[in-house]
Amino acid sequence: MSALEARRSVALSLACGAVFGLGLVVSGMSNPAKVLAFLDVAGAWDPSLALVMAGAIGVHAPLLRVVLRRGAPLAGPAFVVPALRAIDGRLLAGAAVFGVGWGLGGYCPGPGIVSAGAGGATPVLFVVAMGVGVLVHRHLFERPRAPEATGGIAAEGDG
């Protein structure tokens, strides 16, 4: 990849992140109260999160098949689609732990980062702690791999 291609790739990724953030803001998912109201099944329930996911999947599911029919991505070396793996204890335990944190703060990674960008001590604390949590897991469970072995990308994860 030439320097120009690398710069273009980075600029395009910035744009993707910005569009994602826009979606979060427009959908109200950057507001933890709305997210918690969805999880609060026994209280004043707000179905918004379900609508957001339906909208997102409704667009992404059909389009991703069209995209994957191409030979290669526009700015990357190859498609990195997560490998098929069985549903295991790590997946379920991790999801369970993530859900608890989500229910406590009302933030998952994307909205947390957007809210931190807006300032405010709480989301910034959340994001810093989230980074620490990521690094703790890496330190405890993830052996360092040579970049070539995974193509420099966490191909073993689903995302």
Partner 1 sequence: MTLTGAITTAVGGAIIGLSATMFLAIHGRTAGISGILTGALTPARGPSRAVDVAFVLGLTLVGLVARFAAPQALGDASPSALVAIAAGLLVGFGTRLGSGCTSGHGVCGISRFSLRSVAATVTFMATGGVTVYLVRHMLGGGR
Residue 25 exposed, middle or buried by CB count within 10 Å (0-12, 13-18, 19+): middle
Q: Site for partner 1 (CB under 8 A): how many residues? A: 124
**69 near partner 1, rule: CB under 8 A:** no
Note whether 71 binds partner 1 by CB under 8 A.
no
Max CA pair span of the chain: 55
Q: CA 117 to CA 127: how far, in whole Å? A: 10
Query: According to CB under 8 A, which residues from 29 to 48 bind partner 1?
Result: 29-34, 36, 39-43, 46-48
Question: Of these, 2, 4, 149, 158, which contacts partner 1 (CB under 8 A)?
Answer: 158
Q: Is 143 in the site for partner 1 (CB under 8 A)?
A: no
Cβ atoms within 10 A of the Cβ of 118, count?
Answer: 10
Per-residue mark of binding to partner 1, 81-110 (x: CB under 8 A): xx--xxx--xxxxxxxxxxxxxxxxxxxxx
Q: Distance between CA atoms of 9 and 12, rounded to whole angstroms?
A: 5
Q: Is 4 in the site for partner 1 (CB under 8 A)?
A: no
Cβ 75 to partner 1 shortest distance, Å: 5
